[in-house]
Structure 1
Amino acid sequence: MTAREAAELLEADAVQVSQIESGTVGVSAKRVRRLANNYACTDLALVDSLVAMATDRTRGWWEEYRGVLPQVNLDVAEAEHHATYLRDVVITRIPGLLQTPDYARAVFDYMNPGLSESAVDVKVDYRMRRRSAIEGDNATPYEAIIHEVALRLRVSDRKTSHAQLLQILSLIEQRVVSVRVIPTDQDGFAGSGASMMYAGGPVPQLDTGMRDSPAGVAFIDSEYQLDQLRALIHRVKSGSLQPAASRDFIHRVAKEL
């Protein structure tokens, strides 16, 4: 479909079509359904979900950080907020959603040499507020698959690491999170390449994957890449301990600190 054809279909001009394509302006429910009909999309659940996304006017807490933190931080928080379920896989550090303030501060201090204390404070505050996605009355189901290395790596000192493990255990006991541990002596584990998060959408076509990369967080939304990511997470999970055994494992590591 050409830009002119799209403009005619949507009863808009070329500038509006360009803005819709770039995501700088919203699109009405009527236009979403008109586009779906034009492309003969008969998946009503998908169309309804797209309409809900297009007409959502939620102004989340992350908007307070617009212009303060990079856009990708806002995108991550928004994806977590809207997800129907969340699944994390981490190898070397505790998932951000589970970190204590002291642990998060140690990570930011180490990864950002020379960053001012006030700038670190903003990053820590943002990270702590992200946990609202998995707590409260409308908490999103969350599962974290954590390698033993992340449990034992001391980003700061013994006190900080011990407090971090106790917080994970507390969240497990409160049924806020399900945690599975991958022991270092587990056979057949070749890693996951990078930390990754999977955010379930209202329908599978609207799932979102996020993977750490040298340039920051890379978002994944193509069908093929999502299939690959789901398969990889399933493989990683199959090599992890059951939740009860994982809880006991974390208890043992905490006692050793």
Structure 2
Amino acid sequence: MPPTSNPTLRQRRFGAELRKLRERAGLTATGAAELLGVNQARVSMIETGRTPLSADKVRSMANVYACSDDRLIDALAAMTGRRTRGWWEEYREYLPAGLADLAELEHHAAGLRVALSLHIPALLQTTDHARAMLQQAVPPFQPYELEHRLSYRIKRQAVLHGPTPLPYTALLHEAALRMQYGGPSIARSQLARLLEMSEQNNITVRVIPFTSADFPGNGQSFDYAIGQVPQLDTVQLDTHHGGCEFLDAEAQLEKYRTVLNRMESCALGPVESRKFIEDIMQGL
């Protein structure tokens, strides 16, 4: 397979995981190349996600690296080949690359856990609510930019529907429910959508009220994409310039798992949360 000039996040992550296996085996890139029967430059290309591999080649490398984690090997083998030409590829020309990477990450995830303090999750937003939020961008988007971002955001929601919808848990602070982007009418419709979506079997919405005394951290919002194995989990943070930051170091993943667990421990249950949302909606 020919090399890839601009690897996606998924391809870079694939290469990075193979590099981790090599390093755990105590091998240098040169030493690994000798054992694999290739040159060192090819190993570097593989580990930066620029050279696609077959599943058999991944299993061969895992054997050379003495990796005995069959679940991890299977998950890496499933990431091989050319990149998926999903709907998000058409947006790479118009939006920051990280946004297309985020849609691809969600497409391949085994589940999502999100935590938000001031916003409704993008995957649960109405079109009117999303438009109202995007119109507050600084600097403001040009009309065509806004429409690209809006259509991209709505298309991302497809992962929550269909024959195999993604398991999805949203932890929302009360402040996010009380923000009235676009005015009371749009806010009311948005809360009604939130209630409707929370009734789906794959979606759990839990609210952290102002009265919670155990809210952890500084209220940072983030998405936690669950991989096919824990080693392939990914945290996504929004950046001030409108892009995405992705974290996958073991210590980082453990930190955000802990934050999510603490947030769940101080959140209302799903039924109580729906009643809480209903009360706010009726007050608008």
Partner of 1:136: 162
Q: Give the unaligned 5+ runs of structure 1.
A: none
Partner of 1:196: 222
Whole-angstrom distance in 2 between the partners of 1:190 and 1:226: 16
Distance 1:192 1:77, change over 3 A: farther
Alignment partner for residue 35 of structure 1, among 55, 61, 75? 61
Partner of 2:6: none
Distance 1:10 1:150, change over 3 A: same
Q: Deviations along 1:37-75, whole A, 9 cap, x unmatched? A: 222111111111111112375321111112211110011
Partner of 1:71: 97
Identity level (%): 43
Q: Structure 1 residue 151: deviation in Å?
A: 0.5
1:106, 1:155 within 8 Å by CA — same for their partners in 2? yes
Deviates more, 1:187-196 or 1:149-158: 187-196
Whole-angstrom distance in 2 between the partners of 1:7 and 1:67: 36
Q: Structure 1 residue 14: deviation in Å?
A: 4.2
- SS of aligned partner of 1:145: strand
Partner of 2:204: 178
Whole-angstrom distance in 2 between the partners of 1:14 and 1:190: 46
RMSD: 1.8
The answer as to 2:272 corresponding to 1:245 is yes
Distance 1:114 1:108, change over 3 A: same
Number of corresponding residues: 257
Q: TM-score when scaled to structure 1? A: 0.93
Partner of 1:87: 113
Q: Give the unaligned 5+ runs of structure 2.
A: 1-26
Q: Deviations along 1:111-156, whole A, 9 cap, x unmatched? A: 2333211110000000001111111111111010001100001122
Whole-angstrom distance in 2 between the partners of 1:57 and 1:74: 12
Whole-angstrom distance in 2 between the partners of 1:142 and 1:247: 16
Q: Structure 1 residue 108: deviation in Å?
A: 1.3
Whole-angstrom distance in 2 between the partners of 1:179 and 1:132: 18
- SS of aligned partner of 2:186: helix
Partner of 2:52: 26
Alignment partner for residue 62 of structure 1, among 83, 88, 92? 88
Q: Structure 1 residue 184: deviation in Å?
A: 0.8
